[in-house]
Structure 1
Amino acid sequence: MRRTAFLVTVTALVLGAVAAPDAPRAEAAPAAFVHPGVTVSRAQLDFVRVKVNSGAQPWKGAFDQMLASKYAALDRTPAPRAIVECGSYSDPDHGCTDERQDALAAYTDALAWYVTRDERYARKAIELMDAWSAVIKDHTDSNAPLQTGWAGSSWPRAAEIIKYTYTGGWAGSGRFATMLRDVYLPEIINGSNSNGNWELSMTEAAVGISVLLEDRGTYDKAMARFRTRTAAYVYLASDGDLPKTVPSQNLDTRDKIVAYWQGQATFVTGLTQETCRDLTHTGYGISSISHVAETSRIQGQDLYGTDVGERLRQALGSQAGYELGAAVPGLLCGGSLKPGLGPVTEVGYNALHNRLGVAMTNTRTLTERNRPAGTNSLFVAWETLTHGDNPA
C-alpha cells in the first residue's frame, strides 16, 4: 500500500461511518442481567456448539485448536497464591503468570464443557476457580492494577458459563463471588490513570464482575468510566484539534497530551493513545473495548452504533492496515510502527461488519488471515470459536 493509504483509508471509513459520534455518557444497568452474559451469550454458545458438532469451519478448527492447548488439559494443577506480586512487565512474577493462565484455563474448560457436555471440563473449571477463591487475598507491586484487570477479565467469563449452564452444581460459587468482590473490584473500579490499555482492561474486568455479581451500581460506574476512557483512547477528527482526555489525569495542556500519546503531535482518525508505542499494547486496548461493547450488547444496550462503535471500527481498520504491512506515513509515529496486534479483531469485526454491514476491508483481511485466533496468554482467548461469523 502507498504512503497515502492511511489517510485514504481514514477518509473512506469516515464517509461510511456507522453513526455520528456522540458524547460519552453513563449507561444504565439492565433491569435484569442476562446470563451467561460476559462477552459471550448463551445464543452465541449454542451457535458454536452446533457448528463444532457438525464439523463446520472455521469453528471446528478453532475448537480443535483450543482443546489441544495447555489450557484445556484435564490434568492441570492450579497454582493459587495468597499474595500475587507483579512488578513492571511481571518482574517479579510471583504468581502473575499462574493466575492469568489458571483464569484462562477455567474459561477454556467452561467453553469445552458447553460444546462437548463432558462434565470433566466443568469440574476442572470449578476446581481452578475454587482453588483461587480459597487462597488469594491481594495483588501487590506496580503492575497490581493491570494484573487484576487481566485475570479479572477471564474469571467472570468462566464463572458465567459454569454457574448458568452446568447442572452438576457448584458449591463454591458464593465464595468465588466474594473473591471477585473483595479482592478484585477494589483494585480496579476506580482506575489507575495509567496508559489506556491498563484502564480499559481494568474496566473490562469491572464490567464482567458486576454482571456476575448482578451489582447495578458497580456496572453503572464501570460503564461510565468505559465511555470516557474509550473516547480518550481512540481519536476521531470530530474530537477537535486534540484528543479527548480523562479529567482525573489532568492532561490540561497540549504538551502533556502529546507526551501521553507517545510523543505524537499530529492526530488522525483511528490513531490510538498507544499506536506509537507498539501495536501489541494497542491491541490490548482495542480488545477490551470490543469485549465491553459485546457485554453491553448482550445486556441490552448496543453501543456499536454510538461513538464507541465508531472508535472501535476506526481503530481496527487503521491498526489492521499497518499490521498487514501498509507503509506508515512520516506524520505518524516518525514513519515507523512496531507490529504485533494480536488475536483481537474477531469480536469487533463480527459486530460491526457481520451484524451492521459495515465494510471493513483491512480488518476482514487480517481477521481471516489469523484464523483460528488463539490466545494472547493474558486475557484474550478463542475468539474465532466464540465470535467468528457468529450471528447470534
Structure 2
Amino acid sequence: MAVSRVLLLAAVILASTVAGAAPAPFTHPGVLVSRAQLDFVRGRVQANAQPWKAAFDQLIASSYASTSRKPKARSVVECGPYSNPNNGCTDEREDAIAAYTDALAWYVTRNAAYAAAAIRLMDGWSATITSHTNSNAPLQTGWAGSSWARAAEIIRYTYTGGWPQLSRFSTMLRNVYLPVVIKGSNSNGNWELTMMEAAVGISVFLDDKSSYDTAMAKYLARVPAYVYLTSDGALPKVTPGSGLNTRDKIIAYWQGQSTFVDGLTQETCRDFVHTGYGIASISDVAETSRIQGNDLYSGEVGTRLRYALGFQAQYELGAAPPSWLCKGSVKRGLGPVTEVGFNAMSFRLGNTMTNTRTLTERNRPAGTNNLFVAWGTLTHAQNPN
C-alpha cells in the first residue's frame, strides 16, 4: 500500500512537471507581463485611452511611484501571525511593490528616474536582508518575492542605463527567497499558491529551469485542491502529503463546508480576502506560464479559475448566499484580483463571465492590495498579448 502511494505521488509530480515544464529558453521580460503587453499598455496610455490612462494616473499618483523613496531594508524581517509582530514586514512588501510600480512607470514614460528608483530599492534590500523569521515568514517571503521578480524582470531587460548590483540582487533571490518558497506549504491554500507565484517568477528571472519545474508541479497540484469542480467527485481533491485522508479532515480544511459546487474555493467560507489572494496567484502563475509558452488557461487551470472568479464575483456583488453556503453568511472583500484572470478567460478566450465582468469593471482602475497584487487594470485590461 505504501509503495502504491509513493508511485501515485511520483506519477502526479511527473505529470505536473511535464505539463508545466520550463521553456528553453525563457522569455524576458516574462514575469506576469511580457514586452508585448508592456508595449500595448504604453501605447494605450500615450493615446489617453481608457481605462489605461486612468489606471496609469492612479499609479503615478500613488506613494509607490515616488522617485525619492528610500528603502527601509533590514537584515531580518520578522512576521508573526497576521504580521504581528511586524518588524519590517510592511516595509519589505511596500518597497517591493514600489520597485514594481517604478518599473512600470519607467517603461511607460521612459523617464530614467523611475528606473533608478526601482534599482535603488532593489539594491537597498539586496545589500541588507539575510532572512525572514516567525510564523508568517514563508508567506511574507512569497508576497515580497513575487513583486521583486516582476520589478527586476522589467528593469533588467528593458532599461539600458546599467544595474551594477544586478548580480547581488540575483544572489538575494536565490539564497534568501527561493529556498523558502520552493518548499511549499500545507497551510491554507493561498500560502502555497503565493509561494509558488514567487518561486515561478524568481525561477524565470534566474533562468533556473529545475526550480521552475518544481514550482510548477506544486502549483499544478495545488490548484485542483483549492478550487472545486463537480468532476472532482463527492469531495475536493487534496495535495500529496497533505494528511487530509478522511472526509472529516477535508471538510474541516474547507472551513466546515460540506456542500461542494463548481468554483467554491478552500477559503471561500473563511473570507473573500484570503480567497482573493489565492485567485490572484492562480491567475498570475498562469499568465507567466502563458508568456513562457505554455497556455494553462485553455485547460483545467483555466476552467477552475473561470468558475472561481464567477462564483466569488456573484456574492461579492451582493447576492445573498444560500443557507448551505458558509452557513448562510460570507465575508466579502475580494480585492483588486480579477483583471488578470478575466482578461485571459473572457477577453482572450471569449467566455461570457457576466458577474466577473461586472465586478471587474466596477472596480476599475484596480490598484494594489499593498501585499503583492498591483495595477491589474493598467497591465491586463483588454490586453490581447
Per the shorter chain, which TM-score range? Answer: over 0.9
Question: Does 2:264 align with 1:264?
Answer: no
Q: Give the distance between the partners of 1:197 and 1:121, measured in 2 at CA.
A: 31
* 1:241 counterpart (234, 257, 260): 234
Instruction: Report SS of the residue matched to 1:80.
Output: coil
Residue in structure 2 matched with residue 360 of structure 1 by the alignment: 353
- The residue type equivalent to 1:357 in the other structure is G
The alpha carbon displacement at 1:199 in A equals: 0.6
Q: Give the distance between the partners of 1:214 and 1:329, measured in 2 at CA.
A: 48
- The residue type equivalent to 2:363 in the other structure is N
Residue in structure 1 matched with residue 317 of structure 2 by the alignment: 324
Q: Give the distance between the partners of 2:262 and 2:322, measured in 1 at CA.
A: 14
* CA deviation map 1:194-237 (0-9, x unaligned): 10000100000000000000000000000000000001000000
The alpha carbon displacement at 1:253 in A equals: 0.1
Residue in structure 2 matched with residue 168 of structure 1 by the alignment: 161
**TM-score, with normalisation over the residues of structure 2?**
0.95
Question: Does 2:16 align with 1:25?
Answer: yes
Residue in structure 2 matched with residue 371 of structure 1 by the alignment: 364
* CA deviation map 1:47-102 (0-9, x unaligned): 00011011111000000000000100112111000000000000000000000000
Instruction: Specify every segment of 5 or more residues in structure 2 that has no aligned partner in the other structure, as ranges.
Output: 1-13
Q: Give the distance between the partners of 2:89 and 2:129, measured in 1 at CA.
A: 12
Q: Give the distance between the partners of 2:258 and 2:240, measured in 1 at CA.
A: 20
Q: Give the distance between the partners of 1:338 and 1:304, measured in 2 at CA.
A: 28
Q: Give the distance between the partners of 2:86 and 2:185, measured in 1 at CA.
A: 20
- The residue type equivalent to 1:267 in the other structure is F
Question: Does 2:152 align with 1:159?
Answer: yes
Runs of 4+ in structure 1 off by over 4 angstroms are: none
Give me the identity figure in percent: 71
Q: Give the distance between the partners of 2:183 and 2:69, measured in 1 at CA.
A: 34
Instruction: Report SS of the residue matched to 2:297.
Output: coil
- The residue type equivalent to 1:151 in the other structure is A
Q: Give the distance between the partners of 2:69 and 2:371, measured in 1 at CA.
A: 18
Q: Any conservation in 2 of the 1:24–1:231 contact (CA below 8 Å)?
A: no
* 1:85 counterpart (78, 84, 87): 78
The alpha carbon displacement at 1:25 in A equals: 2.1
1:282-301 to structure 2, matched below 5 A, reads: 282-301=275-294
Residue in structure 1 matched with residue 137 of structure 2 by the alignment: 144
Question: Does 2:36 align with 1:66?
Answer: no
* CA deviation map 1:305-333 (0-9, x unaligned): 11100000000000011000111011110
Q: Any conservation in 2 of the 1:24–1:228 contact (CA below 8 Å)?
A: no
Q: Give the distance between the partners of 1:248 and 1:178, measured in 2 at CA.
A: 31
Residue in structure 2 matched with residue 132 of structure 1 by the alignment: 125
The alpha carbon displacement at 1:131 in A equals: 0.3
Greater length-normalized contact order (CA 8 Å, ≥ 6 residues apart): 1
Instruction: Specify every segment of 5 or more residues in structure 1 that has no aligned partner in the other structure, as ranges.
Output: 1-22
Residue in structure 2 matched with residue 15 of structure 1 by the alignment: none
CA RMSD in angstroms comes to: 0.8
The alpha carbon displacement at 1:24 in A equals: 6.7
- The residue type equivalent to 1:259 in the other structure is A
Q: Give the distance between the partners of 2:201 and 2:184, measured in 1 at CA.
A: 15
* CA deviation map 1:97-121 (0-9, x unaligned): 0000000000000000000000000
Q: Give the distance between the partners of 1:196 and 1:74, measured in 2 at CA.
A: 36
Question: Does 2:272 align with 1:279?
Answer: yes
The alpha carbon displacement at 1:186 in A equals: 1.1
Q: Give the distance between the partners of 2:185 and 2:376, measured in 1 at CA.
A: 28
- The residue type equivalent to 1:234 in the other structure is V
Residue in structure 2 matched with residue 12 of structure 1 by the alignment: none
Residue in structure 2 matched with residue 18 of structure 1 by the alignment: none
- The residue type equivalent to 1:25 in the other structure is S
- The residue type equivalent to 1:71 in the other structure is Y
* 1:207 counterpart (200, 210, 227): 200
The alpha carbon displacement at 1:256 in A equals: 0.3
Q: Give the distance between the partners of 1:24 and 1:293, measured in 2 at CA.
A: 17
Instruction: Report SS of the residue matched to 1:84.
Output: strand
**TM-score, with normalisation over the residues of structure 1?**
0.94
